[in-house]
């Protein structure tokens, strides 16, 4: 069984307003994200982690969209990793695999989720990632170029990231014990020395962060054939 934890408890500081409730076409960002997981055949259960002060609205959104796979709508924590932890605490007993996904990535597709799951089943851990295409430079404290970084073999990490449940829970326990600060699950699992397969994504799966991202996502969605 595959359970998906959708983390939606952030404070949208760089956006300046709650980005997850911003409309993309006919529905809010978070509704697009939930729809993608609802549509994905291999996903059995969805745990939605939201801000305490928006839980009622999230519950209403789930009800209106008739999402059948939502098992829990629960409040998150101060940091993203606390929100993931809140989701992990509610996993169904027979969840063998866990997907973690940013609610702020509404363009994710069922095909991408399925592809990452297949690799997670084969390797225990897999994450969607985008090969870096820009030239990378390091800047000194005065912002002058002070060196380059070879981009060969570098990836920007995305979500979903999917793991065997035991591995992810052990990784999160280790992170808590060592009081580490992490921004994704791969970083947690790396601490254990476990292998994680990168699943290259050459499609658009941007994380809505700044107002310009809403325009981009909107334009992309209006051109994409509906699933």
- The residues that touch Mg ion, with contacts defined as CB under 5 A, are 10
Could you give the CA distance from residue 103 to residue 159 in angstroms, rounded to a whole number?
Answer: 10
**Cβ proximity to ligand CTP, 59 vs 123, nearer residue:** 59
Which parts of the chain fold into alpha helices (H)? 29-39, 55-64, 80-88, 110-123, 165-177, 185-190, 211-223
Residue from 13, 66, 135, 142 in contact with ligand CTP (CB under 6 A): 13
Could you give the CA distance from residue 181 to residue 227 in angstroms, rounded to a whole number?
Answer: 37
Minimum distance from residue 220 beta carbon to ligand CTP (Å) = 17
CB-count exposure of residue 170 (10 Å: 0-12, 13-18, 19+): middle
Q: State the residue number with the nearest CB to ligand CTP.
A: 10
Q: Using H for helix, E for strand and C for coil, what is the string for 163-216? A: EEHHHHHHHHHHHHHCCCCCCCHHHHHHCCCCCCEEEECCCCCCCCCCHHHHHH
Q: Is 12 a residue that touches ligand CTP (CB under 6 A)? A: yes
Residue from 7, 91, 99, 126 in contact with ligand CTP (CB under 6 A): 7
Of ligand CTP, Mg ion, none, which one does residue 8 interact with (CB within 5 to 8 Å by kind)? ligand CTP
**Cβ proximity to ligand CTP, 158 vs 164, nearer residue:** 158
**Inter-residue contact 164 to 146 (CB < 8 Å):** no
Q: Is 61 a residue that touches ligand CTP (CB under 6 A)? A: no
Find out whether the peptide bond into 160 is cis, omega within 30 degrees of 0: yes
Residues 64-123 that bind ligand CTP (CB under 6 A): 76-80, 83, 102-104
Minimum distance from residue 113 beta carbon to Mg ion (Å) = 22
Could you give the CA distance from residue 132 to residue 155 in angstroms, rounded to a whole number?
Answer: 5
**Inter-residue contact 116 to 127 (CB < 8 Å):** yes
Residue from 75, 109, 191, 209 in contact with ligand CTP (CB under 6 A): 209
Q: State the residue number with the nearest CB to Mg ion.
A: 10
| Residue span binding ligand CTP (CB under 6 A) among the ranges 9-17, 60-68, 148-156, 168-176 | 9-17
Residue from 10, 28, 106, 124 in contact with ligand CTP (CB under 6 A): 10
Q: Is 49 a residue that touches ligand CTP (CB under 6 A)? A: yes
| Four-residue CA torsion sign, 20, 159, 208, 15 | positive
Of ligand CTP, Mg ion, none, which one does residue 159 interact with (CB within 5 to 8 Å by kind)? none
Binding site for ligand CTP (CB under 6 A): 7-14, 49, 76-80, 83, 102-104, 207, 209
């Amino acid at each position: 069984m595959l359970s998906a934890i959708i983390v939606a408890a952030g404070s949208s500081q760089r956006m300046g307003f709650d980005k997850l409730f911003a409309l993309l076409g006919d529905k809010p960002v978070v509704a697009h994200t939930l729809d993608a997981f609802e549509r994905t055949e291999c996903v059995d259960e969805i745990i939605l982690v939201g801000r305490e002060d928006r839980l009622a609205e999230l519950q209403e959104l789930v009800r209106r969209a008739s999402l059948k796979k939502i098992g829990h709508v629960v409040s998150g924590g101060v940091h993203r990793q606390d929100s993931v932890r809140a989701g992990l605490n509610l996993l169904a007993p027979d969840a063998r695999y866990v997907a973690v996904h940013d609610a702020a990535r509404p363009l994710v597709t069922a095909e991408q989720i399925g592809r990452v799951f297949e690799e997670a089943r084969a390797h225990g851990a897999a994450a969607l990632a985008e090969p870096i295409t820009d030239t990378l430079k390091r800047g000194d404290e005065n912002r002058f170029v002070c060196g380059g970084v070879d981009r060969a073999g570098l990836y920007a990490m995305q979500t979903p990231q999917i793991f065997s449940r035991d591995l992810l829970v052990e990784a999160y326990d280790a992170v808590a014990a060592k009081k580490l600060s992490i921004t994704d699950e791969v970083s947690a699992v790396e601490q254990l020395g476990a292998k994680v397969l990168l699943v290259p994504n050459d499609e658009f799966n941007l994380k809505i962060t700044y107002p310009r991202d809403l325009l981009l996502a909107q334009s992309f969605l209006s051109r994409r054939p509906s699933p």
